Amino acid sequence: MDRSEAEDPDRPASQSGIRLLLPSREFLLSRKGLLLLAEAGLSFIIFICFIASKASSFLTVPLLTFLLALCFFFAYSLKLNEKFKVTYWLLAYFLCCVVAAVIYFAISIAAVSKYSDGAAKAAGVFGFIATIVYAVDFYMTFNGLVTSLKQSDSSDAPEQQRSEEDVSDSDSD
């Protein structure tokens, strides 16, 4: 009996430790979670298509965007953006989405127009879909970034006005 009692407290502790690493259901069903999953899934499919095609020179872009999407997915799901305030997560994610959308658009045009095999054409079509997903994501992230910057500017504005008044008062004396 002592053994089973000793094992019972360990089970919930180990399950809660594993659950801490898994994303919450709320995040998985959120807009950001769904977009990150779509980006990771599309990037992986495009990576596989480029491996199977003659356009294998383009496979580094989907591999890197797949890894970045997974990194951002786990960073947001583990709420690292709230824990590490030094890094400006919205700006980093916005730049990642903009660069990915532009590069996916360029390599998709090249894959569809230059290569004739089916895997390259499929990679190009999925690349156009990924371009749209990344464009939607960077638009939504841009709106969040602008809102965040406006809030930080409005909170800094009274302090700046006070400091300007203090400086003008001290000069008049």
* Residue 9: inside a domain: no
Domain that holds residue 51: 25-150
Instruction: Count up the domains in the chain and report the number.
Output: 1
The mean pLDDT of the chain is 80
Per-residue pLDDT reduced to its tens digit, 112-124 = 999 889 999 999 9
Q: Is the pLDDT of residue 137 over 80?
A: yes
- Put simply, whether the predicted model's pTM sits higher than 0.75 gets the answer no
Per-residue pLDDT reduced to its tens digit, 51-98 = 998 888 888 999 999 999 998 888 888 888 778 776 677 888 889 999
* Residue 75: inside a domain: yes
| Cβ atoms < 10 Å from Cβ of 140 | 15
Whole-angstrom Cα distance, residue 91 to residue 112? 32
* Residue 122: inside a domain: yes
* Residue 119: inside a domain: yes
Whole-angstrom Cα distance, residue 100 to residue 104? 6
pLDDT of residue 101: 95
Per-residue pLDDT reduced to its tens digit, 158-167 = 555 555 555 5
* Residue 131: inside a domain: yes
Structure tokens at 8: 């019972």
* Residue 171: inside a domain: no
pLDDT of residue 6: 47
Read out DSSP for 70-130?
A: HHHHHHHHTTHHHH--SS-HHHHHHHHHHHHHHHHHHHHHHHHHH--SHHHHHHHHHHHHH
31 compared with 14, residue with greater pLDDT: 31
pLDDT range class, residue 105, cuts 50, 70, 90: very high
